[in-house]
Amino acid sequence: MQKEVISQKQAIIIMSAFIIGSSSVVAAGSDAKQDYWIAWLISISMGAIIVAIYARISKLYPQEEFPTVLNTLFGKVGGTIINLIYTWYAFHLFSLILRNFSEFVGIVSLNQTPSFVFGYFAAVLSIWTIRSGFEVIGRVLSIFFPLFIILVITVDLLSIKLFDFDNLKPVLYDGIGPVLKSSFALFSFPYAETVLFLYLMGSIRKTSSPYKIYYASLLLGGIILASISIRTILIIGVPNISIQKFPIYSAVRLINVADFLQRIESTVAISFIITGYSKGSVCLYVTTKGLSSAFNIKDYRKMVAPIGLLAVLYSIFIFENASEMFYWATEINPYYTIPFQVIIPIIIWITAEIKSRKKAACTL
Amino acid sequence: MITLTFTIFGSIFAKKDLVPLYKNEEWVGFFLYLALLCLGLTIAILSDFKVQIPNPIDPIRKLIEFILGIEE
């Protein structure tokens, strides 16, 4: 199988879209209320620390597939176990994205259509992309990501008239506790989810720097995400955010320019399709890659379809309703993801540092 | 409906993937593919019959709720 290669620019675009992902419709970190911007600053700082670890791991083993790195560091058995842990994480995340997408479309527009229909079509799109090779995501996003940025900026500009800066006051009214809780939630969803990009780093060009990719994406994705969330707070305010399932969508609905340009909330749906597709495809790629290397299957592309279809079915029964989904996202997910995003990467990093230093000492 | 949709998409992809796997005698991939499809078909049928399927995230959720002291 020919090795897939993506450029640094494509990697940054994919990762930025991945970071924005479903956060472009689900208001993550809303516990901080009007202090969202403080929570964002803290979370992105925490994100900057953890991605340094991810980038370092990639830097120590450039051009190497992540499952191979795990096997080198922990042996065949240990490496396969960690690989399968990440495979599960990516599979679970892909199902969550499919469910988010199904709930979003079901709630905001097609209420009578069974939700699994949206899940199936979203998954088939990702399956087809990954079957065609991972670099296809890079090419697709090279076209659609600039369009997405233009959409976000346009909506920001059009909504300036609706901004009420009093919605950001009073600062720290409820103390620092909810802000820290939100920062933690934002850190785990979406910044630290970029741990899955360790699987992609083997496919980036030799000249690319993992640090550049991680930090540029963190900054680009983070700024766009912050602009979307702060815009929502400024338009509809905290009380309305807490009663809405998809507040970002509801906020954009209010934009009305001279009774001519209105009902532009479909832009939010378009944004979600672009970023959700990117995130879903990355998760599907990681799941397939992980499972294929655990079973020594040469061409991972052959396994994409059953895994993708299985993820749709899993997304149907993972939650009974939308409330359960939001409860998981806000209360459970930040803690559930700690081992995948923090503990295991730190163990991998320390082991990688020790092994590479030993190797360097031996060669001297 | 879930089963029917799964069968349609599953058949389309299986035709494209399973035949080359069989021809190239890649048995691990072939049987893993079949196993995943069978698992999917079983879940799809159970979902259509509204059978409660054990959810793998339930124990995780309960454990985290227990640690954090969250009451349902």
Element (H, E) at A222: helix A210-243
Distance to chain A for B55, nearest Cα, Å: 6
**What is the per-residue pLDDT for A2?**
65
Taking a C-beta distance cutoff of 8 angstroms, is the pair A341, A197 a contact?
no
Q: Could you tell me the pLDDT band of residue A346, with boundaries at 50, 70 and 90?
A: very high
What is the 3-state composition of chain A as percent helix, strand, coil, each rounded to the nearest 5?
A: 80, 0, 20
Distance to chain B for A44, nearest Cα, Å: 25
A298, A316, A328 ranked by CB distance to B2: nearest? A316
A120, A310, A316 ranked by CB distance to B36: nearest? A310
Residue A360 lies in a domain: no
Residues A152-203 have pLDDT tens digits of: 999 999 999 999 999 888 888 888 999 999 999 999 988 999 999 999 988 8
Q: Could you tell me the pLDDT band of residue A353, with boundaries at 50, 70 and 90?
A: very high
Structural domain boundaries enclosing A30: 8-354
Residue A294 lies in a domain: yes
Average pLDDT, chain A: 90
Taking a C-beta distance cutoff of 8 angstroms, is the pair A283, A90 a contact?
yes
SS3 A74: helix
**Domain total of chain B:** 1
At which residue do the structure tokens 């933690």 appear? Answer: A184
Residues A80-131 have pLDDT tens digits of: 999 999 999 999 999 999 999 898 888 888 888 888 899 999 999 999 999 9
Residue A30 lies in a domain: yes
**Domain total of chain A:** 1
B14: chain A residues, CB-CB within 8 Å: 305
User: What's the distance, CA A198 to chain centroid?
Assistant: 14
A116, A302, A318 ranked by CB distance to B17: nearest? A302
- Which one of A302, A307, A321 makes the best mutation probe of the B interface by having the most chain B beta carbons within 10 Å? A302
Query: What percentage of chain A exceeds 70 in pLDDT?
Result: 99
Structural domain boundaries enclosing B57: 2-68
Taking a C-beta distance cutoff of 8 angstroms, is the pair A289, A199 a contact?
yes
List phi, psi (to 5°) of A261: -95, 100
Residue A1 lies in a domain: no
Q: Model ipTM? A: 0.94
B70: chain A residues, CB-CB within 8 Å: 331
Return the closest-CA partner of residue A145 out of A153, A231, A23: A153
Element (H, E) at A297: none
**What is the per-residue pLDDT for A49?**
95
Query: What percentage of chain A exceeds 90 in pLDDT?
Result: 58
Taking a C-beta distance cutoff of 8 angstroms, is the pair B10, B37 a contact?
yes
DSSP state of A109: T
DSSP state of B56: T
For residue A220, what is the domain's CATH number?
1.20.1740.10
Stretch A346-358: mean pLDDT: 94
- In angstroms, rounded to a whole number, what is the distance separating the alpha carbons of residues A277 and A17? 9
Which one has a higher pLDDT value, A341 or A22?
Answer: A341
**What is the per-residue pLDDT for A22?**
82
**What is the per-residue pLDDT for A165?**
92
CB contact under 8 A, A295 and B32: yes
**What is the per-residue pLDDT for A330?**
84
**What is the per-residue pLDDT for B72?**
60
B28: chain A residues, CB-CB within 8 Å: 295-297
Residue ranges of B 24-43 with Cβ closer than 8 A to chain A: 26, 28-29, 32-33, 36-37, 39-40, 43
B16, B29, B67 ranked by CB distance to A303: nearest? B29
Residue A19 lies in a domain: yes
Taking a C-beta distance cutoff of 8 angstroms, is the pair A169, A29 a contact?
no
Distance to chain B for A108, nearest Cα, Å: 22
Taking a C-beta distance cutoff of 8 angstroms, is the pair A18, A194 a contact?
yes
B69: chain A residues, CB-CB within 8 Å: none
